[in-house]
Structure 1
């Protein structure tokens, strides 16, 4: 940041305070009084009140604001859109984004000026949020979100844009693309990632305090999470390569979106039934849990996952309502977190389903020739390898040239040497003969025929592996799957002479 005095020319204000009047929760008058009680000279800042079309107290607003603020009217109905519009009207060297249900303490502007002078390396900073609670649910809501805010401000390397109270250099905000209304509140994360990727530092000014009103209503909680999730899935579906896009976490619901089809699940179920249940491995309970895991998606496709996610969200909400009425504070906090987690999963799956084909092809490290997949955990890094654990049963849809094809499944030997793991492969439901599988130190090389379409489903099954302190059902660590031309030299060496065939 530059010195504050160098940026203030006496003609334009130093700060443009942008207050969207959507979602004010009945607190906009208190917010306004907080800004008009600042100890700093009023010539240093302008207040821009951005008014949505459904704001009903317009005459009261005009009477209260008088000449102390500029009113900007827009058709946008989302507070992120209102903030973005207000930024286009701002004259200040610094933009100060806040919310109309947040009240600043009187010394906020003075503290911000000092921070600009004291931290020339900051391109922006967020202030401290102090919760205002008025019922038991709002206490639990505040505790949940405050923990997330504290983590972002003090521990996370870049997630430091908090629209309750965020100050930024105007030019850097424009350089980084600004707030995108269509992304909802996920736009804060996208903007924060862009700042970090472009080398701009965002600080945390803990002594500058805002009082944030938590509404404590389940319906509004649900709407907020949906807004965030819709923006998240929309952004991922765009497959943009903006600065910072690589920093954003990919939720497992997105990375496994191709698992919605029943066909892949049927191939995984076939692999399970033809291997595990026939060889006596594992206990009966474990076997039938595995059958149940694949039978539901094999029969229902993505409808099953969405249905179970909906039921989980409904159940968590019902318990939350009950404990809010008669439970302890700890129980309310615990079920609040469970409800939000279940709700986010349900909403993600619904958003991806509504996108349909617009969700785009599968991406990730499995390889360009993998067009769909099922039975994989999230990407991770260990022992020098980036990979995804498969479940003991998994299936991928691969695409290559029709006819004789070599496929290499790259699998670092993290659980045991590959030749000691009883792994069986299947293509379009037919077992690949053992002599058509070459097991190396870190890969399986398969010789098989692809149909005229060049598309086939490769599935496998192996004994289940449990990591230390890991409750997941693990199969093979998969670093990638190579199909076709890059495997020709393996075929010409005569190491995989046989084709897939029935047992």
Structure 2
């Protein structure tokens, strides 16, 4: 259910007239009511009766203008508002906040967030959970699997990976197709690999896209019953597809992840593998939904399309979003332990940092779009929450002192200048020098990992600290890249104490709390700004 309140509450930024085209449906214990403002009103009683009233949109325009004018006049005179419309905004905001609370599973705090529609999110989630993906009959023709193999991040093993895919044993060659995915940076490599491909295999190039978008491009071109997501630094066992096919035929799962065999060449890779195994061990348990692991993961193509696939907007975090979408759709995933791939782990800090950057960028983008990642149930940002809160509190202090300086400037009071300059210096340090310090922290912990490389328990602890530092560094970089610290139009704060009283209507006299002036307002309040024509 999507709610707009026209002139009283603009959420879309479009013309005020577009609210006439909205439809509102309310389901209650007495029946169902449906209204399209300016057109009709329907009521269906639970006992079987119904009513239908039509009216002219022009009459609604006149009534709306009269209602708003009466509200403004009453607010200027501090009188009672002679219309229930004054409480409409409060009611709608309360409804929207309730929707946010239900969606995010936590108490929502005013003002109403403007970046998403909680009722649309809940409706989408409900429709996915109540309707299963359509079962598709076994096809008479076409490959069983479409293997999606990005050429990026190959770590020198792309030829080994391709050779093993082309040499699958005990599985018919026509039963699978290979789709090599190129982001435009591997054109030379793609040309070298092209002669090795079979007739039905293809190379798909999408310049400038991220890994999740590459997978999406491959899935769009896939002809197989299952899409199989893997990486070019993963080398499949000779019977990987045979074992995977046997598992899927003997179980009622719509998808499955493969067993990942770690291959490590230095201490950093061993620590990385140890950290991965600790987490993935939990994901492999029966009923756990977090089995979308691109070391080797198969999913029915129609199910992939049903849930919307990988959302490239969220970069590497899109894999966790896909896992949550599959969970909400009631899709069951299994663990095909017999189907295995050898995963060659990262051997440098830069490789780890590149992965963390992509994941954190996607998570922060999702957080920016939806306000919470609680629906996903997995977060890197929780590891560096203290650092982010420190930057946010510094910005709040700077905003407070800046308002104090503006108010004092008119009276010749410049006592806040020193505090503003000091906080501004700290903010610059937190923004630019802070990034340098975060990078130095990563290098320091990487060196500590090297010193403890022969002691796995100590190495694992140091690697965990290194990973947390990399997440904190990535959060700083991504915050600036997404400009998440810039307030949206709905979040801008204007001090009504700096505005002449004759411009205001619906506000009570100014009061002070903790040396900060403020005004209470009526449910309907506004500013009458004297602007020149044009």
Structure with bigger gyration radius = 2
CA distance in 2, matches of 1:359, 1:193: 29
- Flag the 1:125–1:257 CA change in 2: closer, same or farther, 3 A: farther
Question: Which of 506, 514, 518 is 1:450 aligned to?
Answer: 518
Change (3 A) 1:308 1:51: closer
Pair 1:318 & 2:444 matched: yes
| Equivalent residue runs for 1:446-485 within 5 Å | 450-451=518-519
Any idea what SS the aligned residue of 1:304 has?
helix
Q: Does 1:72 align with 2:204?
A: yes
Which of 327, 349, 353 is residue 218 of structure 1 equivalent to?
349
SS in 1 for 2:483: helix
Check if 1:196 corresponds to 2:327. Answer: yes
> Following superposition of structure 1 onto structure 2, how do residues 342-421 of structure 1 map, counting pairs within 5 Å?
342-356=469-483, 402-403=507-508
Q: Secondary structure at the match of 1:7?
A: coil
Given the superposition, is the C-alpha separation of residues 356 and 112 from structure 1 closer, same or farther in structure 2, using an over 3 Å criterion? same
Matched, 1:427 2:513: yes
Pairing 1:236–2:367 present: yes
Separation (CA, whole Å) in 2 of partners of 1:78 and 1:355: 16
Shift of 1:304: 3.4
Deviation (angstroms), 1:90: 0.4
- Give the structure 2 partner of residue 161 of structure 1: 292
TM-score with structure 1 setting the length: 0.61
Name whichever of 156-165 and 126-135 sits farther off. 156-165
Q: Report the TM-score, using the length of structure 2 for normalisation.
A: 0.58
Once residues 509 and 280 of structure 2 are traced to their aligned partners in structure 1, the CA distance between those partners, rounded to angstroms, is: 55
Q: Distance in 2 between matches of 1:5 and 1:298?
A: 61
Checking the alignment, whether the CA contact within 8 Å between 1:128 and 1:204 is kept in structure 2 is: yes
1:246 and 1:26 map into 2 onto residues whose CA distance is 33
- Aligned 8 A contact 1:237 1:360 in 2: no
SS of the equivalent of 2:270 reads: helix
Q: Contact 2:320–2:376 at 8 Å: present in 1 too?
A: no
* 2:469 corresponds to 1:328: no
1:31-180 aligned at under 5 Å gives the runs 31-38=161-168, 39-55=170-186, 56-67=188-199, 69-120=201-252, 122-154=253-285, 157-180=288-311
Unaligned runs of 5+ residues in structure 1 are 268-294, 363-367, 373-399, 407-425, 431-448, 455-482, 487-503
* Cα distance between partner residues in 1 of 2:423 and 2:328: 39
Residue 199 to residue 156, structure 1, CA distance change in 2 (3 Å): closer
Q: Once the 2 structures are TM-superposed, how far is the Cα of residue 22 of structure 1 from its aligned partner?
A: 1.2
Q: Alignment RMSD, CA only? A: 4.0
Contact 1:16 1:92 in 2 (8 A): yes
Deviation at 1:192, TM superposition (A): 0.7
Give the drift of 1:180: 2.4
CA distance in 2, matches of 1:297, 1:484: 35
Measure, in 1, the Cα distance between the counterparts of 2:422 and 2:251: 57
Paired residues, number: 358
Larger % of strand: which? 1
Rounded to whole Å, the distance in 1 between the matches of 2:137 and 2:318 is: 31
Q: Is the CA contact (8 Å cut-off) linking 1:402 and 1:450 kept in structure 2?
A: no
**8 Å contact kept, 2:349–2:446:** no
Matched, 1:26 2:156: yes
SS of 2:313's equivalent in the other structure is: helix
What's the CA shift for 1:326?
Answer: 6.7
Name the CA shift for 1:164/1:405 in 2 (closer, same or farther; >3 Å). Answer: farther
Q: What is the alpha-carbon distance in structure 2 between the residues aligned to residue 194 and residue 5 of structure 1?
A: 20
In structure 2, relative to structure 1, the CA distance for the partners of 1:156 and 1:213 (3 Å cut) is farther
**1:403 & 1:303 partners in 2: Cα distance?**
40
- For 2:341, what is the secondary structure of its paired residue? strand
Q: Aligned to 2:284, what secondary structure does the other structure show?
A: helix
**Residues 441 and 469, structure 2, Cα contact 8 Å, conserved in 1:** no
**Residues 53 and 350 of structure 1: CA distance in aligned 2, closer, same or farther (over 3 Å):** closer
Q: How far is 1:360 from its partner? A: 5.4
Partner Cα separation in structure 1 for residue 357 and residue 363 of structure 2: 10
| CA displacement, residues 12-48 of structure 1 (integer Å, 9 cap, x when unaligned) | 1111111111111111111112212222112221111
Q: Which residue in the other structure is 2:125 paired with? A: none
Contact 1:403 1:450 (8 Å CA) reproduced? no
Q: Which runs of 5+ in 2 are unaligned?
A: 1-131, 402-420, 495-504, 525-534
> CA–CA distance in 1 between the matches of 2:242 and 2:510?
70
Cα pair distance change 1:15/1:354, threshold 3 Å: closer
Assess, with a 3 A threshold, how the Cα gap between structure 1 residues 73 and 352 changes in structure 2: closer, same or farther.
closer
